[in-house]
Amino acid sequence: MAPQTALPLAGITVVSVEQAVAAPFATRQLADLGARVIKVERPDAGDFARRYDETVHGESSYFVWLNRSKESLTLDLKSDEGRDILEKLLSTADVFVQNLAPGAAARMNLDAQSLQQRYPSLIPCDVSGYGNTGPWSDRKAYDMLVQGESGLMSLTGPDECPSKAGVSIADIAAGMYAYSGILSALYTRATTGTARAVEVALFEALGEWMGSPAYYTEYGGRQPSRVGAEHATIAPYGPFPTADGTVLLSIQNDREWSAFCAEVLGDASIATDPRFCRNSSRVEHREECNALISERTRQLSTDDALALLDKVSIANGRLGTVSDFLSHPSLAGRDRWREVQTPGGPARALLPPANLSGVEPRFDPVPALGAHTDAILGELGYTDAAISELRTAETV
């Protein structure tokens, strides 16, 4: 095995008052690359995502996914002692991340402006629903609500039923932008000496993902149609029935369409039919186009249809399940699976998708609630007796 390159964020300390998905996703990626992430949780129940479900050896599937390689410190931030401990941590931290309820950070003087006055070298990162300023700054925002407010649900699902995406894409988008923003801020601090604050709103993160339909709507005079698994502005694109299942295919240009008509549909003249000769024409006549294709694909097994599409170099795939994903040959063949310990036992975990040559990301355990409290307090100079008193007072 090749020598392991040092993790790029080794030596960086992140303190995070986080919950749910967006902020924990950002900090987990920092932990993957070697940052020390101290996760501050409520003493009574911790991050409420711990109890979304109990499917992974008694732990939440969300929590196991988002919180490996972190240290769990329980603190009552409403108490003077808890706040004092947090301030001691922040005085030597590099990054502070929070996604508290609207207004909560400011009430505790944990907003970016207050923190930078006290700790000029600290990089604060605020993750909120609609931003820290503006008319919606005081509104709670969860993934489904943001998918609705951003217009994404109006584009998703079948024509008769607006739908949300099956995963928390607003949270994931915000977490990704928080992660990249923090990396940019760390680089800026390293090269200029100036610590910049990072702010990410779920609504604006998903708004970035809405760029194409937003342009289409503003300059086209109407928004893209809701077409389920098909594409509003490309055809053919989507699922088609086979003799024993479903095949997915996508044609991106007229050259591919011509080859598809000749080799798959068996009739080259279809490619020059005025209804189908251009992508915009195929979109306009989508039902007729799909009917022609479906008539042919129903004559083939899924395996035969995929083989024929491969032969003509038409992009294709299967309509898989989550179980199919878990056993997908691409993941197994590229050695993408690792193991991470949870409080209840080992679980599989995927490598992060960004591959740094020579770097194996961390897969330290998912922490039990408060698992690192005593050790962290010891580092801060608290004696066993003092820690006992904090526990008696229910501060930790």
Q: Which two tokens stand for residue 380?
A: 């801060």
Q: Is 171 a catalytic residue?
A: yes
Among residues 32, 171, 254, 324, which one is catalytic? 171
The span from the CA of 232 to the CA of 223, in Å, is 9
The span from the CA of 383 to the CA of 24, in Å, is 30
For 247, residues 6+ apart whose C-beta sits below 8 A from its C-beta are: 239, 240, 297, 302, 305, 306, 309, 316, 317, 318, 319
- Strands in the chain per DSSP E: 13-17, 36-41, 70-74, 95-98, 123-128, 198-201, 237-241, 246-250, 315-318, 337-342, 345-350
The span from the CA of 195 to the CA of 152, in Å, is 34
Please tell me what DSSP assigns to residue 56. Answer: B
Distance from the Cα of residue 148 to its chain's centroid: 18
Query: Could you tell me which of 311, 187, 323 has the C-alpha nearest to residue 249?
Result: 311
Q: What is the DSSP string of 19-48?
A: -SSHHHHHHHHHHHTT-EEEEEE-TTT-SG
Length of the chain: 396
Distance from the Cα of residue 249 to its chain's centroid: 26
* Residues designated catalytic: 171
